Structure 1
Amino acid sequence: MKLTKPVFAPLNRRGVLKGGAALAATAGLGAMPTGLLAQEKISVAAIYTVPVEQQWVSRIHNAATGAVEAGQIEYQFSESTSNTDYARVMREYADSGVDMIIGEMFAVEQEAREVIAEYPNTTFLMGSSFPADENYPNLGVFDNYIQDASYLSGIIAGSMTETGNIGMVGGFPIPEVNRLMHAFMAGVREVKPEAKFQVSFIGSWFDPPKAKETAFAMIENGADLLYAERFGVSDAAQEKGILAIGNVIDTQADYPETVVASALWHFEPTLQAALANHKAGTFKAENYGVYSFMKEGGCSLAPLGTFEGKVPAEAMALVEERTKAIKAGEFTVEINDDEPASS
């Protein structure tokens, strides 16, 4: 099992990261008085239902640790928090007086919103499948809308598959996963219209063995390329000598002969927008998911690494053309949140 390591390891169950004078100097802020810098920092707490190594959460965690390094925030977090314990941890952080709480309330929408309503003076930035609601003015919602990069990775996949039989393993069929799969498939069909897809969901956000087992079954059924929405899929591809496309993080260095390309999520624009609004006193109920779009710098296609020069030139030319058009607002990748099905 190969995981992206966090920038900082938690000190205990609840990691605490605080930037001091030396850290500020490293970030180019050392000329500011330490006391003044501390006063301007926003205290942020994050609640994750999985380990911070998990790919989706790792992007949020890394953006937060980057803000620590820049002297913007003080940061603490809880990882592997169960759904049944989520509301309690939210209240605990809110009672401690933190300025902002970041989390992922996909499985606890009702309970989380009840807590949010109890703490109107606390800012909440939460991953959610539902739109912003003015009844919760202190709640900004987000999701990883990286369909632009997923579409581009699909173009590359379509040019690299020989059989046109592609396996796709996801966690749960929720909008944030569905839209990426659809965008990927649309990209594949740009260069391989006759492609067929095997689609399966493992019912977990972090179960590499199950994802690997599911991927093996797809390979047995003829897949010669896999879409690795979950950890474990690329391991199966590597063992069987076929190719894979990554998602959210760049695992090319871990699978140099397997992972051709990856759609990357950059949470930094989302977090920076929320911090700026909080500091300005203008934070309100709105959809922060738009900051994941490519034109906002929220997603990109990872470098090809060892596959540089191995992807057909025609496909790379199309990727470049579409990338420019997407950033210029001249090409829009469809957002389809419906559950994808095998073809």
Structure 2
Amino acid sequence: MTFSRRLLITTTALAAALAAAAPAFAQAKLKVAAIYTVPVEQQWVSRIDKALKAAVGRGEIEYVFSENVTNADYERVMRQYAEQGNTLIVGEAFAVEAAARKVAKDYPKVSFLLGSSGKPQAPNFSVFDNYIQEPAYLTGMLAGGMTKSNKIGLVGGYSIPEVNRLMNAFMAGAKEVNPKVEFSISFINSWFDPPKAKEAAFAMIDKGADVMYAERFGVSDAAKERKVLAIGNVIDTQKDYPDTVVASALWHMEPTIDAAIKAVKAGSFKAEDYGHLSMMKPKGSTLSPLGTFEKKVPADLLAKVRAKEKAILDGKFSVKVDDGQPKAK
């Protein structure tokens, strides 16, 4: 056999082998695990889950999750997922900061992306947060313009920075269009207790509140029953409350999740703060469509809201980030 013929056969065989292997390489997917302390349908967690499932739909990742994980069990679950070969672990570290950061140190080759009030931790612990105070401000403007009693109620989970900043922005927006508005504020000390949130809302409505800020599930149910208005948070629930929910400040986790996945795949993931990707300019948050309230919101009020929305996107107006506990005014 001549040299040229042997070379041809060898080259052909190599090409065939590479062609056969190509689908396997193409199908290699990033293994991602998420750990949630509440049910996956809870609004905050549902946005993370939605973004990860979108990546699954694109064929980029394999995705598993655990929900209703107690704080005491969080570290164990994190370690289990790290041991199982997951390259990226997503979750929330707000109540388990020390434990979560300890796990990250023990698994330096695993990338961690967790909701946190703290700073990134080198080399592999990145943080994110729901910096959706901009659309929260816009929904506050709507609330301030729609109230007839000049009394607005706010029901939140816990008084922590992630909740406080949204309530403060909402209240500032309401005050801009209606200086006479007064606020009632309550925290139910739970991330998922719709009956308790509902009762807190009833108490405010009984005292004259005709617009409710539904930071937690249950508030819109109370508003619907008492025939007052509500403002949603994180997800758009208007389809479930078409005559109640005027609008919502929506959180979109896709920019954050997609950036993390891209960095892990490129081998460039490092300790970073992804918080800015939750703001309006990167499309991490938006004001929901008005839908059934499109013609119910006064034209002059809507014009003010749209002008403010444009000013935010153009960088001409900045919503103050106030993490302090909101006070009734």
| TM-score, L = length of structure 1 | 0.88
Structure 1 residue 118 and structure 2 residue 110: aligned? no
Amino acid at match of 1:266: H
Percent identity for Structure 1 against Structure 2: 61
The equivalent residue for 1:14 is: none
The equivalent residue for 2:168 is: 182
Amino acid at match of 2:224: Q
Counterpart pick for 2:159 among 170, 173, 191: 173
Counterpart pick for 1:297 among 260, 275, 283: 283
CA contact (8 A) 1:37 1:71 kept: no
Deviation at residue 323 of structure 1 after TM alignment: 1.4
Deviation at residue 35 of structure 1 after TM alignment: 2.2
Distance (Å, rounded) in 1 between the aligned partners of 2:148 and 2:157: 26
Instruction: Report the secondary structure of 1:238's partner residue.
Output: helix
Distance (Å, rounded) in 2 between the aligned partners of 1:36 and 1:157: 53
1:218-251 deviations in Å (ceiling 9; x for gaps): 1111111100000000000000000000000000
Distance (Å, rounded) in 2 between the aligned partners of 1:176 and 1:224: 25
Structure 1 residue 278 and structure 2 residue 267: aligned? no
Structure 1 residue 254 and structure 2 residue 275: aligned? no
Amino acid at match of 1:123: S
The equivalent residue for 1:265 is: 251
1:194-238 deviations in Å (ceiling 9; x for gaps): 111101100000000000000000111111110000000000000
The equivalent residue for 1:37 is: 26
Distance (Å, rounded) in 2 between the aligned partners of 1:277 and 1:316: 40
The equivalent residue for 1:7 is: none
Distance (Å, rounded) in 2 between the aligned partners of 1:325 and 1:74: 39
Structure 1 residue 64 and structure 2 residue 38: aligned? no
1:155-208 deviations in Å (ceiling 9; x for gaps): 111110011100000000111100000110111011111111101100000000
The equivalences for 1:17-36 within 5 A come to 34-36=23-25
Distance (Å, rounded) in 2 between the aligned partners of 1:42 and 1:77: 14
In structure 2, the CA distance between the partners of 1:34 and 1:256, relative to structure 1 (3 Å rule), is: farther
1:39-70 deviations in Å (ceiling 9; x for gaps): 2x211000000011000000000000000001
Distance (Å, rounded) in 2 between the aligned partners of 1:217 and 1:271: 39
Instruction: Report the secondary structure of 2:62's partner residue.
Output: strand
The equivalent residue for 1:8 is: none
State how many pairs are aligned.
Answer: 309
CA contact (8 A) 1:152 1:301 kept: yes
Amino acid at match of 2:92: E
Instruction: Report the secondary structure of 2:152's partner residue.
Output: strand
Structure 1 residue 309 and structure 2 residue 263: aligned? no
Distance (Å, rounded) in 2 between the aligned partners of 1:188 and 1:217: 21
Unaligned runs of 5+ in 1: 1-32
Distance (Å, rounded) in 2 between the aligned partners of 1:168 and 1:278: 39
Unaligned runs of 5+ in 2: 1-21
Deviation at residue 36 of structure 1 after TM alignment: 2.8
